[in-house]
Chains A and B, each alone.
Chain A
Amino acid sequence: MSDKKISSSSTAEYFSKNLQQVGFSSPTKAVLTTLKEAVDNALDACEEHGLAPEIKVEIERLGPGSIKNSERIRVVVDDNGPGIEADDLTKVFGEYLASSKFGRGRCTRGQQGIGISAATTWAQLTCAQGAKVTSKTKAMRKAVSGMVEVDIKNNKGVIKNRETFEWDRPSGTRVEFVFDGRIQVNGEAGILNYLLGTSLVNPHLTLHYRLPEQEWQKSPRVTSTLPVIPEATEPHPHTMKLGEFIAHSHLFGKVKVSGWLKKGFSRISDQVMNEMAKEPKNGLAKGIFDKNVDQLADGDFTKLFTAIQNTELKPPSTTSVLSIGEDAMSKSIQRIGKVDFFSVVTRKPTICDFKPVQVEVAIARLEERASEGDSPVQVLRFANRVPLQFDKSACAIVQAITSVNWRAYGLGQPKDALPQGPYIFAVSVVSPFIKFKNASKETIDASDELVEEIRRTLMQAGQKLSRYIKAEDKANDLEEKIRYIEQFGPILVEGLARITSAKEDQKIRAREGLMKILGRDANEAKNQVSEANRKLEIQKSKDVTEEEVEE
């Protein structure tokens, strides 16, 4: 999006023609994307205002749809967030790029200011009605409701049937879309998986949901601590391409180049600029830093850009990332089903490709899936706490998982494939600048550095997990050994005695001897069980630090 500033009036037209690029490429995806955009916004808004989110999701079938293979669907997302000022409703739901959060460098779910307007457009195009919105902020005495539509020609929102009324809460937003789509409840790209993933990485969320022909379900929050959203960080210049660099300048316009560089990027200081100016190889025009940004010619940008790329800069700071945390994840993971055991790892924030990143992994074995011994594990992917459900194979997360040798940790794994068994692998990547493979934000770009960082996190989680598996294996082993001794001991001695026509007393002595020998084996196994359990207890009791795990 960034290499070209789209003029405001053509924006809506552009997106209405290219909705497939932003998640509306099939009826099934249309449902999921609409749901996702609304829930993301609700969560972002609550977090920003320090409110514990309580969200209600309702999905209904209304009848056959107008496009092929579709049904008329109603999606309602209702939150207890800060609400939206009455005058802003048309901007939020009916205007593209109005929020201009773009490039702010925060770990929020929303990044572009496109999401919810695209959902409105889709509803408008397929069912001729926009977003039915109700909202109230604390400051408003009454709630406002109305139907917001996108005026596609002018990229402006319009509100119809505007009403005000008393609402049952101090603040919140309720948005309803009726559109053509297709409901897929189960499977990797299913709605349930989305809801499951969302509750997993949002331990502070209380989620109510009702799917078609089903009862209301409630998944209460497992922590009341809200995530602290770190201050925004500016992009590191080494992460940019020339086009992005120039586009970035347009956001500033009439300021001095030095001001733009200092404010608009991280790690560029006066000292850095002095050095760049002095370096003859850079060939920078004299006084370029004192010019206004909009006075620069294309050639100036290129020189400036190259000069910056050739200058050594401090890596960006990692304080702008946000983590769910091992404690919260440990609690949250219990929400996805009955869990036998699990392991969670939160890595320290780090820098990959000059961008601050933090990776977290949770692996759990689910009790009710014990029969799925040789199907691949279920992978839940998250980018800035948003579940990713499509284009799995190219994703950095999946590549990292398949690159780990899970057999070493006691899991089955065919060559170059996902491990197998009744496990859920949840991998969350948080970064103010996540690089996606495409505009619909479904796959995290698999750069070597990022894959390696995810891989390390996975291996730590694998090590923790293997303690459980080992302890269980040893216990099974012991059980089997004891059973073997009881079963085969007498058979063996009887058989030998018959072939050799041995006497009764010989038989008794042999049986005793055999039990002694096998008993020694069993004792050995018993010791191994206690040892495995001891290690596991240590792991559980104290939070194992990285060093200890990487023994």
Chain B
Amino acid sequence: MGLRTGNRKGGKAQNLIPQLSIDLCKKLLSDLEKGKRPVLHATKCALDNAIYNHKVGYLTPGNKKVATELNVSSVKKMSRAVFMLEILLRNIETGAVNTKRELYYISKGEIKGTPMLKPLDFTDQPESDDTIDFICELLESYREDMNCYANDRGGQTYSQQLVVTETLPDGDIATIDLSMLGTSPFQPKNRPQNLRLTAKKKIDFALIVESEGTANTLVANGFTKRNNCILMGSQGVPSNAVRGWSKLIQDHLKIPLYFFGDLDAYTMQNIYRTLKAGSAASLIRNQDYSAPDVRFLGVLPEDIKKYDLFDYPVRENDAQEMRSLKKADDALKNDPFFHDKKNKGVADILRWLLKNKRRCEQQAFFSVNPKDPTMPEKIILDKIKRGDFV
């Protein structure tokens, strides 16, 4: 490996993980030798332990810890964690990577071969996933640094100017010029730390579109031909890959980032907030998995009037959106992100949604001039030029 620098403030770097693990296990063992009940502390990853400071730009963990004491009830959980940790450490040592699902099967295989381990057996994948998450919280490490990758989706990226240089695990270097890909997108991997981004020609902005399909349409209609930009589809709630990749674009290229998506409570809370400031569930990794510079380009409430967009009331049977509306009230009260005065614009949109209970989809821009396929592009550029975003 040897590529890790180990000076990141977020998750512990991968090269520290083996030693950290050994230290933790030694402590456990020596407690046991003394007949003392070991207690493990993990960072509490929940909204009530989330801190937001706009100067930092993303949600960071507070001081709250979750203590797990070894007793009859927790001995199974701890035994499983130690068992899974061994597999993960072996992966780090050999450089092997796996998805969570693969790790589930690997652990089942191990257990099958050793009858004594039978009681540890996972009945389904959520059980092994929980064990992996528990280890990450204990070691305050990224799952990716445990060589465990989710099958991340989204993030398909188009650009005529962007060049990506990737350092492969064996040290080889790969260079990808996105302009050579035609209409095929570049698919970022969820280990952005191995990528370097450069611009062949000055890039003016990056546009992240909620709908993968709409991103594709914009490209097909020549958006990236006419503009020096990066265009990405986030495919709904941004995956780790999308979040890490956006952060990389922000850091390496120092260009403005805009998010374009639906005007609804779900998009504001689950998609845009996560992209910009991370999530409460991933407090320890938000540093590398959020792009605080990203701005909300629309759909804005005022756009509805301005462009005479089709909007409609939230339907009672739209369970997801009804839930989001309910949560919006809570978010305005308890989510430090929406509390911060720097984010007043976004909080105002949430308040507007709560009050009006209407939504407007990003595709509504296609209704403005049905005969002109480039109309959405014109509106987007116009909004950027006029600073019409929050």
Binding site for B on A (CB under 8 A): 481, 484-485, 487-500, 502, 506, 509-514, 516-518, 521-522, 525
Residues of A within 8 A of B75 (CB): 484-485, 488-489, 492, 518
Residues of B within 8 A of A511 (CB): 32
Q: How far is the CB of B90 from chain A (nearest CB, A)?
A: 10
Residues of A within 8 A of B89 (CB): 499
Residues of A within 8 A of B76 (CB): 484, 488
Complex CA gap A496/B83 in Å reads 9
Complex CA gap A538/B116 in Å reads 43
Q: Which of B18-26, B224-232, B338-346 contacts A (4 or more CB under 8 A)?
A: B18-26
Chain B, Cβ-Cβ closest to A522: B72
Complex CA gap A184/B33 in Å reads 68
Are A509 and B33 touching (Cβ within 8 A)?
Answer: yes
**Residues of B9-67 contacting chain A, CB below 8 A:** 21-22, 25-26, 28-29, 31-37
| B120 interface contact, C-beta 8 A | yes
Residues of B in contact, count (CB < 8 Å): 30
11 new A-B contacts, CB < 8 A, other than A488-B119, A506-B33, are A488-B79, A491-B116, A495-B85, A496-B28, A499-B25, A500-B22, A500-B26, A509-B33, A513-B33, A517-B32, A518-B71
Nearest 5 A/B pairs, CB to CB: A495-B82, A510-B32, A521-B72, A513-B35, A487-B119
Q: How far is the CB of B127 from chain A (nearest CB, A)?
A: 15
Are B82 and A496 touching (Cβ within 8 A)?
Answer: yes
Residues of A within 8 A of B34 (CB): 513
Chain A, Cβ-Cβ closest to B70: A517
A492-B22 contact, Cβ under 8 Å, with A517-B71, A518-B71: no
Binding site for A on B (CB under 8 A): 21-22, 25-26, 28-29, 31-37, 70-73, 75-76, 78-79, 82-83, 85-86, 89, 116-117, 119-120
Are A491 and B79 touching (Cβ within 8 A)?
Answer: yes
Chain A, Cβ-Cβ closest to B83: A495
A492-B79 contact, Cβ under 8 Å, with A500-B29, A506-B33, A517-B70: yes
Q: How far is the CB of A487 from chain B (nearest CB, A)?
A: 4
Are B71 and A521 touching (Cβ within 8 A)?
Answer: yes
Q: How far is the CB of B273 from chain A (nearest CB, A)?
A: 32
Contact of B29 among A484, A502, A518, A521 (CB under 8 A): A502
Interface-centre pick from A492, A521, A525 (highest chain B CB count, 10 A): A492
Interface-centre pick from B29, B71, B78, B116 (highest chain A CB count, 10 A): B29
Are A495 and B79 touching (Cβ within 8 A)?
Answer: yes
Complex CA gap A57/B116 in Å reads 61
Residues of B within 8 A of A493 (CB): 29, 32
Residues of B within 8 A of A485 (CB): 72, 75
Residues of B within 8 A of A510 (CB): 29, 32-33
A499-B21 contact, Cβ under 8 Å, with A488-B79, A491-B117: yes
Residues of B within 8 A of A512 (CB): 35
Are A481 and B78 touching (Cβ within 8 A)?
Answer: no
A484-B72 contact, Cβ under 8 Å, with A497-B29, A499-B86: yes
Chain B, Cβ-Cβ closest to A490: B116
A506-B71 contact, Cβ under 8 Å, with A491-B120, A495-B79, A513-B34: no
Chain B, Cβ-Cβ closest to A517: B37
Residues of A within 8 A of B32 (CB): 493, 496, 509-511, 513-514, 517
Residues of B within 8 A of A489 (CB): 75
Q: How far is the CB of B383 from chain A (nearest CB, A)?
A: 48
Complex CA gap A246/B196 in Å reads 99
Residues of A within 8 A of B72 (CB): 481, 484-485, 518, 521-522, 525
Complex CA gap A489/B33 in Å reads 13
Residues of B within 8 A of A514 (CB): 32, 70
Contact of A516 among B28, B35, B82, B120 (CB under 8 A): B35
Are A517 and B117 touching (Cβ within 8 A)?
Answer: no
Chain B, Cβ-Cβ closest to A483: B119
Chain A, Cβ-Cβ closest to B84: A495
Q: Can you give 10 A-B contacts (C-beta < 8 A)?
A: A481-B72, A488-B79, A494-B116, A496-B82, A498-B86, A499-B21, A499-B86, A500-B29, A512-B35, A518-B72
Residues of B within 8 A of A495 (CB): 79, 82-83, 85-86
Q: How far is the CB of A391 from chain B (nearest CB, A)?
A: 32
Complex CA gap A497/B117 in Å reads 15
Complex CA gap A500/B86 in Å reads 10
Q: How far is the CB of A284 from chain B (nearest CB, A)?
A: 60
Residues of A within 8 A of B117 (CB): 491
Are B82 and A492 touching (Cβ within 8 A)?
Answer: yes
Complex CA gap A496/B25 in Å reads 6
Complex CA gap A521/B70 in Å reads 10
Complex CA gap A509/B76 in Å reads 20
Residues of B within 8 A of A522 (CB): 72
Q: How far is the CB of A474 from chain B (nearest CB, A)?
A: 13
Complex CA gap A278/B173 in Å reads 112
Residues of A within 8 A of B22 (CB): 499-500
Are A517 and B35 touching (Cβ within 8 A)?
Answer: yes
Chain A, Cβ-Cβ closest to B33: A509
Chain A, Cβ-Cβ closest to B22: A500
Q: How far is the CB of B134 from chain A (nearest CB, A)?
A: 14
A491-B70 contact, Cβ under 8 Å, with A496-B25, A499-B25, A506-B33: no
Q: How far is the CB of B89 from chain A (nearest CB, A)?
A: 7
Chain B, Cβ-Cβ closest to A510: B32
Are A513 and B79 touching (Cβ within 8 A)?
Answer: no
Chain A, Cβ-Cβ closest to B26: A500
Residues of A within 8 A of B26 (CB): 500
Complex CA gap A522/B119 in Å reads 19
Chain B, Cβ-Cβ closest to A508: B33
Chain A, Cβ-Cβ closest to B118: A487
Residues of B within 8 A of A491 (CB): 79, 83, 116-117, 119-120
Residues of A within 8 A of B73 (CB): 521
Residues of A within 8 A of B79 (CB): 488, 491-492, 495
Complex CA gap A510/B32 in Å reads 5
Q: How far is the CB of A413 from chain B (nearest CB, A)?
A: 25
Are A500 and B35 touching (Cβ within 8 A)?
Answer: no
Residues of B within 8 A of A517 (CB): 32, 35-37, 70-71
Chain B, Cβ-Cβ closest to A516: B35
